[in-house]
Amino acid sequence: MDRLDNTVRPYAWGSTTAIPHLLGVEPTGEPQAEMWMGAHPGAPSRTARGTLADVIAAAPERELGAEAVAKFGPRLPFLLKLLAAGAPLSLQVHPDLEQARQGYADEEQRGIPVDAPHRNYKDANHKPELICALTEFDGLCGFREPVHAADLLAGLGVDSLKPYVDLLHAHPEDAALREVLTAILTADREEMAHTVAEAAAACDRLGGDYAPYAGIAHHYPGDPGVIAAMLLNHVRLQPGEALYLGAGIPHAYLDGLGVEIMANSDNVLRCGLTPKHVDVPELLRIVRFEASDPGVLRPEASPDGEEVYDTPIDEFRLSRYVLPAGGAAHDLTRSTPQILLCTAGSVRAGEHELTSGQSVFVPAGEKAEVSGTGTLFRATVIA
């Protein structure tokens, strides 16, 4: 079992206080957006044996187990994070596995450098993800029913939004959503900036259901993504609740601290709320134009105290243990690799004492007994 030393990424949208508070350290005044736990080549966790990427590469079957290697290859198929949003992240979608493979092969064939700012596919993998709230957590997830989106836009009283309102009342609904998003993203930038400014002022004035969009507009004045965001469901997670984001589902995180787990990929198609490249044709190919409930997940408890967040993919499995004072020890030994993350209290994992924000990597088959008082998240795979 290896104690992990993890990198904190200073993305501009990050909170300046949430991760330092969890870790029990003084804020630096700079944004601290994500703490990465895993073997992603961009920032692999460090161990006493070297980086976790190097440890796994040296002996994949020993570290990951034969079943996981057979199913996912000689790499850790997930990345675990602490994510702290102090401002909205970009409005985005992720491709499914076949779309990612096709897109990556196409861009490779066209000779687009992997680090080019207009490159969409950094790898050939999909990027399903799960966010579990540690604090109250605001996000956008999936399309509203078109008539509800129409009512929200109409309530702003902005004349230039009336064509979108009319389109949202058209049928079939998937075509209505596609037409409106396409119109928003391809509109004249100067005209759209004026529309966004009017809409933002109305959101400020009206408050209530409009308040999240006023906040988004404050961070991204004039961005078409402000209007696109109003097509999506707003959801506020309470601590312990989660969202699963599958392929093609438009989403954005707005504010809060959570534990995030995802398949090991960097493939993102952006819709707005970003200065980065927006490839509208490719985005429209990937987005699933269907209204959906955000589907807030609550963990399912098992008799041994494990609370599992059920998802339809195998690259990751996230669960947590809320360990009471004086409770019995739990044997977490598995034939698959694990990362254990303490988010509250003090938990003993093998020979390691973990406090809030500390984590360990447990190789496949390694004895993993945990005890103490606190909250422990467990990330592994289904092999």
Catalytic residue positions, numbered: 270
The 8-class DSSP code of residue 41 comes to T
Residue 180 and residue 291 in contact, taking contact as beta carbons nearer than 8 Å: no
CA atoms within 13 A on the CB side of 42: 13
Lookup: tokens for 329: 């020890």
The 8-class DSSP code of residue 23 comes to H
Lookup: tokens for 57: 């590469």
Tell me whether strands 50-51 and 46-47 are parallel, antiparallel or unpaired. antiparallel
State the residue for tokens 């064509």.
163
Task: Name the residue type at position 279.
Answer: D
Q: How far is residue 316's CA from residue 311's CA, in Å, rounded to a whole number?
A: 9
Task: Name the residue type at position 84.
Answer: A
State the residue for tokens 């796994």.
56
Residue 153 and residue 168 in contact, taking contact as beta carbons nearer than 8 Å: yes
Candidates 228, 213, 201; CA nearest to 144 is 228
The 8-class DSSP code of residue 38 comes to S
Task: Name the residue type at position 116.
Answer: A
Tell me whether strands 137-143 and 251-263 are parallel, antiparallel or unpaired. antiparallel
DSSP-assigned beta bridge partners for residue 138: 236, 255
- Residue 378: exposure state from Cβ atoms within 10 A (0-12, 13-18, ≥19): buried
Candidates 117, 186, 141; CA nearest to 290 is 141
The pair phi, psi for residue 203, each rounded to 5°, is -60, -45
